[in-house]
Structure 1
């Protein structure tokens, strides 16, 4: 069922930080006539190091803010938040569509030639019951090697995309997948496509890398329906707006994006600072 959006309504997108911009980029291509609001919970990143209870509570607070701002559909552009919070979000707002982000086990099963699949994820996603259920439901007799990757999101959030330290982390986390002989690997965090060349180099050219952000954006576009109206993009962060704006310019080349500060503790989520 498609939504019948009014011109003033929005699609809300959130992530623990900058990873969800990979999904936002796809949404802007698919829905050029839609109002979009992205919230980067940078002050609380990375979610992969948080407890499931903390992630769930934070997600509920963010969703409440996005809905108050006009969201009629929310994209949880974070694998970790999807794993630990999407059921709570759907229970709290049962009539509002939530689009989650999960590793594409089914496409990986279809793509693998030798039956061995690697999955690179945050620690919280790697140990989540939802991921385990996803693997059990779709992997069948295929072997899925799940590798948690602490520290990678921190380096990406810092804009540290080409350092020796990040390369060393990527090499370390890819080693078990190479040892297992996987021929297909899933990037199980929306941050990870931002350094896709590093993963590919560490895994080797014969390993097929799969991403999920395009499928997530297409699902949201299908639910939203027609892309008509006056487009706009609002970007908010619970962290430092100037730092996020610098990251967007440096990494994505988005040089004209205003970034607003948002704090859940402030009255009605009012914005304290714009840069």
Structure 2
């Protein structure tokens, strides 16, 4: 099993930002990536629909031999990861917005969180804030449309920049000096977001922390790939294969 691949899925291409961090930390690991672009975005969907999609994709990844599965989507983690852990024998790693490190870093006492509406509305997110943001003001900002811009490959277009300005302006105006990128699509917009908010605002995402957790679980179960070579990625999507190929080649050269 140590030579088996890591399974990774997201509502679309966002989880590639997590895959990049996993490959940076664990370069020998093979991976199977599933972009559920045919059902993206997950943000406005009922919980049971997201659970059903997550279960279907999990079964696909397990059938292809995945030794561990990363739910590389904040919305899917909130809706489905507890169900997946209770249903399937595989270890699962989910996403958690970087509220705890943001609360430790802020000097102004104000942290902004950019995410999908579904992720921000979830009980899991509210528990996270209650546990780790004592004494810090956490301002949340839903970002409808940003996921779709990344899915379309519209990374650096006027429409994307307009959305970024619209969503970050109230957070910066309120004094936030740390912004949490609470969706795996948003790290692909990091240069654009940083240019809009200025160098005095720190941007945090959780891709690196997820990669470290993947390494911990693989070490615990003696499942690290022992081979001394660059890991390969097997790509799958429920959406347009040609568009997905162009995007994954661009986002993970």
Tell me the TM-score normalised to structure 1 length.
0.86
Find the aligned partners of 2:241 and 2:215 in 1 and give their Cα distance: 28
Pairing of 1:137-176 with structure 2 (within 5 A): 137-176=131-170
2:251 maps to which residue?
Answer: 252
Q: Is the 8 A contact 2:111 2:137 kept in 1?
A: yes
* CA shift for structure 1 position 15: 0.5
1:84 maps to which residue?
Answer: 79
* CA shift for structure 1 position 30: 2.0
Matched, 1:240 2:240: yes
Matched, 1:30 2:25: yes
Structure 2 counterpart SS, 1:146: strand
Structure 1 counterpart SS, 2:141: strand
Q: Which runs of 4+ in 1 moved over 4 A?
A: none
Task: Flag the structure with more relative contact order, 1 or 2, with Cα contacts below 8 A and sequence separation at least 6.
Answer: 2
Structure 1 residue runs of 5 or longer lacking an equivalent are 255-275
Q: Is the 8 A contact 1:177 1:203 kept in 2?
A: no
* Greater Cα offset, 35-44 or 229-238: 229-238
2:196 maps to which residue?
Answer: 202
Structure 2 residue runs of 5 or longer lacking an equivalent are none
Find the aligned partners of 1:193 and 1:253 in 2 and give their Cα distance: 12
1:185 maps to which residue?
Answer: 179
Find the aligned partners of 2:252 and 2:52 in 1 and give their Cα distance: 33
Structure 2 counterpart SS, 1:88: helix
1:218 maps to which residue?
Answer: 212
Work out which of the residue numbers 6, 10, 18 in structure 2 matches 1:11. 6
Find the aligned partners of 1:140 and 1:253 in 2 and give their Cα distance: 37
Q: Is the 8 A contact 1:51 1:124 kept in 2?
A: no
2:225 maps to which residue?
Answer: 227
Q: Cα deviations across residues 26-58 of structure 1 (Å, max 9, x unaligned)?
A: 112222222210000010111112222211111
1:181–1:15 CA distance, 2 compared to 1 (3 A): same
Find the aligned partners of 1:253 and 1:145 in 2 and give their Cα distance: 31
* CA shift for structure 1 position 201: 2.3
Superposed CA RMSD in Å reads: 1.4
1:115 maps to which residue?
Answer: 109
Q: Is the 8 A contact 2:2 2:225 kept in 1?
A: no
Q: Is the 8 A contact 1:10 1:34 kept in 2?
A: yes
* CA shift for structure 1 position 204: 2.3
* CA shift for structure 1 position 253: 5.9
Q: Cα deviations across residues 122-155 of structure 1 (Å, max 9, x unaligned)?
A: 1111111111111111111211001000000001
Q: Is the 8 A contact 1:23 1:77 kept in 2?
A: yes
Q: Cα deviations across residues 93-141 of structure 1 (Å, max 9, x unaligned)?
A: 2x42100111111101110012110000011111111111111111112
Q: Cα deviations across residues 49-74 of structure 1 (Å, max 9, x unaligned)?
A: 22222111111111111111111210
